[in-house]
Amino acid sequence: MHYAVSGATGNLGSRVINELAGLVHVEEIVALVHSMEKAKSLQEKAITVKQIEYSGIGIMTEALQGIDLLIYIPSKTYDVVQRVLELENTLVAMRNAKVTKIIFVSFFADQEKNPFTMSPYYGYASRRLAGAELAYTIVKNTLYADPLIPYLPELIERGKIIYPIGKEKLSFISLDNSAEALAKLAVTPSLRDSGQSYLLSQLENYSMIELSEIMSEVTGEKIGYQPVILTKFAEIYPDDGDELASMYHGGALGMLRATTDDFERITGHTPMYMRTFLSKHYKG
């Protein structure tokens, strides 16, 4: 069995590669990357690295030769049309290379009425795969817990969380837990290939008051909750504030609160709880 992982130098992709390397021989793993310069650490581990461009179907077809299963981690762009074209080109390359199995890494903000900028893409992708004549599996991540760690100093300085979601709750998963589940799924045929859809989450979701209390306990600093309005949130973070505001708009509508036990079903153990995760990674 040969596995390819796209986005293999990214935060999630690199972790998936590491998890897979603990489950199968490294000769069975192909890391698909956009920058060979960033892939040196993978090559040092004897991982086969191939460069791809989503716009180049020929290059992608060549990179996918001999692959049995593709773990497809989308790019980070907020351009819906570009993301759609990237997936379409990937599906053409898979067909050309005779790759018949895909695990598509998605996000749970895919509801029909979700105002998140990328929601149309995630809704499209699941429907597109359903008609693609592939053995496919969809894995939806909840919000990543990891960005909360570098965010904590700002929250301590502010003295409050400002997410504009009101009394609603948010659901999280860590990158390490997500990668572990994806790798385990890849090597467990009984859990994939039949259109299954999984949601990776911690067992609990959190209101912002609950999250602020956990953060206060972990950091030893008083962190409360005082939400700003959506437009103000976008102004505070100009780089991607509009997109994030649209995501939290969905959160305020109760669309980012779902939890499941899918992680435990896949891996055989529970995911890391938020308090444990923050305590492990926060260095003060």
Task: Tell me if 207 is assigned to some domain.
Answer: no
Task: Tell me if 155 is assigned to some domain.
Answer: no
pLDDT of residue 182: 98
Structural domain boundaries enclosing 39? 3-142+175-202+259-268
Task: Tell me if 212 is assigned to some domain.
Answer: no
Closest CA to 117 of 246, 279, 237, 282: 246
- Mean pLDDT on 240-258: 96
Closest CA to 252 of 268, 228, 272: 228
- Written as six digits, the tokens of 36 are 């060979």
Task: Tell me if 247 is assigned to some domain.
Answer: no
pLDDT of residue 239: 87
Whether pLDDT at 146 is above 90: yes
pLDDT of residue 17: 97
| Identity at 128, one-letter amino acid code | R
Whole-number Å distance between alpha carbons of 148 and 113: 27
Whole-number Å distance between alpha carbons of 249 and 240: 14
For the chain, what is the domain count?
1
Cβ atoms of residues 282 and 152 within 8 Å: yes
pLDDT of residue 44: 83
pLDDT of residue 36: 86
Quick one: what percent of the chain has pLDDT higher than 70?
Answer: 100
Task: Tell me if 12 is assigned to some domain.
Answer: yes
The CATH code of the domain that includes 24 is: 3.40.50.720
- Mean pLDDT on 166-195: 98
Whole-number Å distance between alpha carbons of 52 and 39: 12
Whole-number Å distance between alpha carbons of 238 and 70: 35
Task: Tell me if 48 is assigned to some domain.
Answer: yes
- Written as six digits, the tokens of 256 are 């980012």
pLDDT of residue 40: 85
Whole-number Å distance between alpha carbons of 134 and 53: 22
Rg (CA), the chain: 19
pLDDT of residue 284: 78
The pLDDT tens digits for 64-73 are 999 999 999 9
Task: Tell me if 158 is assigned to some domain.
Answer: no
Whole-number Å distance between alpha carbons of 236 and 228: 10
pLDDT of residue 30: 97
- Helix (H), strand (E) at residue 98: none
Question: Beta partners for 143?
Answer: 172
Whole-number Å distance between alpha carbons of 72 and 52: 13
Task: Tell me if 24 is assigned to some domain.
Answer: yes
Cβ atoms of residues 206 and 274 within 8 Å: yes
The pLDDT tens digits for 56-66 are 999 999 999 99
Distance of CA 95 to the CA centre of its chain: 25
Using CB atoms within 10 A of its CB, is residue 218 exposed (0-12), middle (13-18) or buried (19+)?
buried
Closest CA to 117 of 245, 12, 231: 245
Whether pLDDT at 222 is above 90: yes
The mean predicted confidence, pLDDT, of the chain is: 96
CA-CA-CA-CA dihedral for 119, 145, 215, 213, to nearest 10: 50
